[in-house]
Amino acid sequence: MKRKARYLAITFVCLILSFMVTLQVRSVLSANSQTVVTADSARLEELQKLYNTEKERSTNLEAEVKEYRSQLENFESELENAGGDAVTFYQERLRQAELLAGMTDVTGPGVVVTLDDMQQSAIPENDDPNAYVVHDSDLLMVLNELRDAGAEAISINGERVLATSEVRCAGSVVSVNNNRISAPFVIRAIGDPEKLSAGLQMRNGAIDQLAVNGIVTKLEPKTEIEIGAYTSGLNFQYASPKEEE
């Protein structure tokens, strides 16, 4: 009886151990399966992101190709209108670019404006002589009036005036394009002579204000004026062409 009870106890323990081992194995298999599923999900998500990125890149490239094709068609159309001579066509484009940038000599109708200091002998006694000399503000006033009246090219004492040109007092002289110039200041402007003259001579305009300040002014309309090219260096340190999106 005791032996039978011992066998039953051993059998019961073995069953318990077998059950526990089975549970442990199932737990391990389940964990491994979950790890595989999780890894596969992460991989699928990574591949989906990569696919979306490449799809977006492909769309952008297609848009760029479309834009380049459009530009090419425009160039081909312009080239065809120019008579099919590619060299002549691009030379003309370059000439226009140089003209707009002020890098070439130009000629045409316009006006010549001369500004000079008042003669020392004409300055009232006890007045400050500096009040009767041409300042950078006087030159800038004339330049702005000429531009507003449609001047296409301007120079001061032979210095071509561009958008980047400084016009400022530097002691007893004026600096233009980092070159020092002094009175008399001869301003040449190419444009419609009548409009340029009218812009300067309007009531209470530049000519009137210069006269009040005692500046000697001479305005001459011309049928032909020659203005030299900009010769100083251009160095853009911060500005650069924007890439098309």
33 backbone dihedrals φ, ψ, rounded to 5°: -65, -40
For 234, residues 6+ apart whose C-beta sits below 8 A from its C-beta are 164
Residue 240, domain member (yes or no)? no
pLDDT at 5: 45
Query: Among the three residues 70, 93, 114, which one is the final residue of a domain in this structure?
Result: 70
Partnered with residue 160 across adjacent β-strands are: 155
Residues 65 and 142 occupy one common structural domain: no
Across the chain, what does the average pLDDT equal?
77
Residues 7 and 55 occupy one common structural domain: yes
Residue 233, domain member (yes or no)? no
Residue 169, domain member (yes or no)? yes
Domains of the chain: total:
2
The structure tokens 């992460």 sit at 42
pLDDT at 125: 72
Residues 114 and 220 occupy one common structural domain: yes
Residue 245 tokens, joined: 């999106």
pLDDT at 112: 98
CATH number of residue 206's parent domain: 3.30.70.1880
Query: Among the three residues 46, 70, 94, which one is the final residue of a domain in this structure?
Result: 70
Q: Which domain covers residue 132, as residue numbers?
A: 106-227
Residues 9 and 114 occupy one common structural domain: no
Residues 222 and 114 occupy one common structural domain: yes
Residue 79, domain member (yes or no)? no
pLDDT tens, residue by residue, 15-71: 555 555 454 545 544 555 555 455 556 666 766 666 676 667 667 766 776 776 676
**Amino acid present at 213:** N
Residues 121 and 215 occupy one common structural domain: yes
pTM beyond cutoff 0.85: no
Mean pLDDT confidence for 115-137: 76
